[in-house]
Structure 1
């Protein structure tokens, strides 16, 4: 939290990445009327912010239901705004990026392509009610280098914000959703406890994402991931054992297992299609979006909608083909081992059904999720 120019944009995503938390951008939840007022340089009233804050509460609670930590990007300049957020998430932590008036004017005036009148900066400082002394609050000197500010916030969260306690727990017992946690990148621990939530601000990630957003989350997603991960691990282990034993038998004892190649090929087919369904849920499939990303938001959504409709139709056709092959394959056995060839088509039909369903869910998400704003617009925050 903090006034415009305090460095919320860069600091917020760095904190989210370091802790492995989900990020929620408050500016994306403003009603259009609020955005129009801010663009015109008109400060928002308390009445203007009611719907906005209610939307933020819903988004925070959604993150809690999905069992993930979050970083809320919100200026939250008044005590009443912070209390409203605290009521929704008891123990919510606030990192206040404190900055002096002259530095704020200098930074806001230096933003390329951004319209932020000085009068709006004045209103921010006039509205600001310092959170110093409130529970779970850290006041940071935002005039320091960005890296120093990040280290101060993350160190505070790991020590005083409740993360240090969770770090001592047996993390192997905690559910893992690889699409919502990136602890491998920064060494951060993910926690679902309310005391581990941070309020800051962010717009654009500093580094390239390895994956897109997960299509859905929560306990069902975690269960789906566990099943597919264990199944893929078992299939890969089976392939290794079958192939290795066949090689040893052939070169050490002059014999071999004639069905090894056939069974390893069957396991490979299962492995590929189970992996495709799992990767699509997590948002880990490849995407080529260089041209699409240059389009306006509405056109991006239309392109994405057409893409997901095509994926759903193609997956449904493949599922129908897999089902027909299954029916046909029950009457034909493999030449060596003798298993019904329909067994090889089971993962094809099942994974294609899963892909069709996931594509339809993502089609809905295209219109439900708020698109990221350009930096020049996302930073317009009159609190």
Structure 2
């Protein structure tokens, strides 16, 4: 259960598959009048939901009569709705997929062809009565990777409805990636419909690799970028103060700040690519089957590796040439400006080849355009 965009359909399918249970999608039982209201942006009233909840009760009882377990994907926003479902199946339990408003809006807005408009997200949160504290309820942070959410729910079911203390400790003590709050999980496996950094900006793809090497890489690049940015601030600020306060200036300030900026840009590109934070355009690619997406991704990474290799070669050639030429103002060899270009392009080429391998080794994440949204 949960508001639209919390991931009910995709998560419930995965839980049903993991447990070998029947899956019931509540969206399929809405009367046409309800669907028409939601298409028009009109929130459903309690009266509108009565027939729908009754149909769900019948469907759950049919599964019970067939002696099969079932997983229902249903918003069940109010306690009164949940009680109707509990009356039909007394031992019913609820896993509440909890997300924040911004994430819900982002996911609903990314869904193509669904009858749930973004305008109804407000009504979903206004209607929601948290089930926390009710019997047989598990509250799950749905902004985590899908595998983590599914694992937490299935463990809860298998432990008879109460997740074991040690299981909770294992989940809370998972290794953290410096780029992503739960990067150890996200970098080592497919990471559900989206990759978020501390519930903030959504990443365009999962981190290319993780672990101690990734953390060391991040620490080095983060500190280097911080030092470069601090250097730029000090140089520019001191130059401005000297110019306007003392009528003098620092001859090499502008050139040194430009040099630091070049380093900052290229170090940042390598760091961002490892973390999955680069810009991506995948609207068309996401509408094709998985095999096609893998082929397109493979071609893309081959092109990135080839272009990065050429840029690295060009940077290296410029370095060889630049050692013999000095800066006319400060006097440093111009090759220094090309060191980050060559180094970062080598890093990008290696990362692209690693990602090329990952395309065929990992289960690909669900595209953002198919992020789960349910209307109920």
Distance 2:346 2:96 in 1: 53
The answer on whether the counterparts of 1:316 and 1:356 sit within 8 Å (CA) in structure 2 is: yes
Q: Which residue of 2 aligns with 1:366?
A: 359
Which residue of 2 is the match for residue 337 of structure 1? 330
Counterpart of 2:215 (choices 222, 238, 251) is 222
Per-residue CA deviation, residues 233-282 of structure 1 (Å, 9 max, x unaligned), is 00000000001001111111111110001110100000000000000001
- Aligned pair partner of 1:356 in 349, 363, 368: 349
Whether the 8 Å CA contact 2:132–2:139 is kept in 1: the answer is yes
1:106-117 equivalences under 5 Å are 107=26, 110=29
For structure 2, the 5+ residue unaligned runs are 32-58, 71-90, 99-127, 142-161
Deviation at 1:344, TM superposition (A): 0.5
2:120 maps to what in 1? none
Q: In structure 2, what is the Cα distance between the partners aligned to 1:250 and 1:10?
A: 55
In 1, Cα distance between equivalents of 2:331 and 2:171: 56
Deviation of 1:27 after TM superposition, in Å, equals 7.6
SS of 1:351's equivalent in the other structure is: helix
Mapped pair 1:141 → 2:93? yes
Distance change (3 Å), C-alpha of 1:165 and 1:352: closer
In 2, Cα distance between equivalents of 1:265 and 1:236:
11
Which residue number corresponds to residue 321 of structure 2? 328
**Counterpart residue number, 2:47:** none
> Which residue in the other structure is 2:275 paired with?
282
Say whether residues 1:313 and 2:265 are aligned partners.
Answer: no
Greater relative contact order (CA < 8 Å, ≥ 6 in sequence): 1
Q: CA deviation at 1:296?
A: 1.2
TM-score by length of 1: 0.55
CA drift at 1:165: 12
CA shift for structure 1 position 111: 9.4
State how 1:144-163 maps to structure 2 within 5 Å.
148=130, 152-154=138-140, 162=168
TM-score if structure 2 supplies the norm length? 0.56
How far 1:363 sits from its partner (Å)? 0.6
Distance across 2 between alignment mates of 1:225 and 1:342:
25
What is the match of residue 87 of structure 1? none
Find the aligned partners of 2:270 and 2:301 in 1 and give their Cα distance: 15
Give 1:105 deviation, angstroms: 5.8
Structure 1 runs not aligned, ≥5 long:
1-5, 15-23, 29-72, 79-98, 127-138, 168-173, 183-189, 193-201
Give me the whole-angstrom Cα distance separating, in 2, the residues matched to 1:330 and 1:263: 17
| C-alpha distance 191-346 of structure 1, shift in aligned 2 (>3 A) | closer
SS of structure 1 residue aligned to 2:69: helix
Assess if the C-alpha contact under 8 Å between 2:97 and 2:139 holds in 1.
no
RMSD, aligned CA: 5.0
Cα distance in structure 2, aligned partners of 1:237 and 1:204? 37
